[in-house]
Amino acid sequence: MLEATRIFYVFFALLSLTGGLIGYVRAGSKASLYAGTGSAVLLFTASFLMGSHLNYGLCIGLIVSVILAGKFVPDFLTSRKFMPAGLMAFLSAVAVTLTILSFYNRT
């Protein structure tokens, strides 16, 4: 479970970074660029820390995932648009679930 979570953080980070870049290019949104880049850096950090400081990595991953879920779940429920709100809401929920399972299954 831990390795799946670690890989998912990298995947989630890449998609967050890509989404932030797309938001900046298409709409000129600096907020999207900063949020996407910041989220990606923190998720990459969480993945890296899981190798040596498991609890720190999981805590960072959980905090970032909950914050992103708090942003995108309400956006998706309001707009009903899959891109980007639905995708990010889904990925955030998966990340939160994987992180909680990893906390319970860590050795």
What digits encode the pLDDT tens for the residues 52-92? Answer: 999 999 999 999 999 999 999 999 999 999 988 999 999 99
- Confidence band (pLDDT; 50, 70, 90) for 106? confident
pLDDT score for 17: 97
| Full domain range(s) for residue 56 | 2-105
Encoded tokens for 87? 């995708």
Task: For the beta carbon of residue 49, count every other beta carbon within 10 angstroms.
Answer: 19
Q: Which helix (H) or strand (E) holds 67?
A: helix 54-79
The model carries a pTM of 0.92
pLDDT score for 107: 62
Count of structural domains within the chain: 1
Encoded tokens for 83? 């891109």
d(CA 23, CA 104): 36
